[in-house]
């Protein structure tokens, strides 16, 4: 039976942020913890795992899928490949660790779309912009498709969308505030949005 795995993507190097943003505290909690909490609150996932790199592997409290060294510099596709390989029969509800204010309501909407379209990728769209790291990744041979892209050095998420049936779900049509979908790339993004932040803490 297909289950839904909640995936927190936390394998990047946070170059623009200046430190490991997964552990940067917002409102008293690390960013990755916010995302894990929303995944749990959605009521749609059977388990939650963290996709991370070798350097950070021991820093999370929950289950982790570690990106192989060969793919750790290949962006989100490298992390997705490892997770899809580890859970080949399941749907993956993926949220990047730097999207701490995504709503559980929106994740439920995405999952319902995925259940009704089991071979399609279900991707968030808002204000004519795609948010590929808030979505559901599923379907037969997903890991094989991603591996082919990695081997061909086609590392963009759009390359994956060109190879798989992809449904873009417009958040505005559901009354979702697109501010909740914004990812935090720089500390300036925190200040601009008035988020309450704290110190780096593992």
167 pLDDT more than 60: yes
Which residues neighbour 186 within 8 Å (Cβ) at sequence distance 6 or greater? 16, 17, 18
Residue 20 among known ligand-binding residues? no
> Is 98 annotated to bind ligand?
yes
Is 177 annotated in a binding site? The answer is: no
For residue 156, pLDDT beyond 80: yes
Is the Cβ–Cβ distance between 120 and 166 less than 8 Å? Answer: yes
| pLDDT tens for each residue of 46-85 | 999 999 988 888 888 778 888 888 898 899 999 999 999 9
Domain positions in the chain are: 4-194
Beta partners for residue 118, in sequence order: none
Of 131, 122, 119, nearest in space to 177 by CA: 131
Q: Is 151 annotated as a binding residue?
A: no
* pLDDT tens-digit readout, 113-141: 999 999 999 999 998 899 999 999 999 99
> 4-194 has which fold?
Spore Coat Polysaccharide Biosynthesis Protein SpsA; Chain A (3.90.550)
Is the per-residue pLDDT at 193 higher than 60? no
- Max mean pLDDT range (53-57, 85-89, 176-180): 85-89
């Amino acid at each position: 039976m297909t289950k839904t795995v909640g995936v927190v993507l936390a394998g990047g190097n946070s170059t623009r942020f200046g430190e490991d943003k997964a552990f940067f505290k917002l409102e008293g909690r690390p960013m990755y913890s916010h995302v894990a909490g929303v995944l749990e609150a959605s009521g749609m996932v059977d388990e939650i795992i963290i996709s991370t790199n070798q350097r950070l592997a021991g820093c999370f409290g929950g289950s982790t899928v570690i990106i192989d060294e060969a793919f750790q510099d290949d962006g989100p596709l490298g992390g997705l490949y490892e997770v899809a390989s580890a859970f080949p029969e399941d749907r993956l509800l993926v949220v990047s660790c730097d999207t701490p204010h995504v709503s559980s309501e929106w994740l439920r909407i995405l999952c319902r779309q995925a259940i009704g379209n089991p071979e399609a990728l279900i991707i968030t769209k808002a204000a004519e912009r795609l948010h590929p790291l808030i979505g559901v990744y599923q379907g037969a041979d997903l890991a094989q498709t991603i591996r082919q892209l990695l081997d061909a050095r086609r590392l963009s998420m759009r390359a994956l969308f060109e190879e798989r049936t992809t449904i873009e779900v417009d958040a505005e049509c559901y009354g979702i505030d697109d501010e909740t979908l914004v990812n935090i790339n720089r500390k300036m993004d925190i200040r601009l949005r008035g988020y309450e932040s704290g110190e780096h803490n593992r």
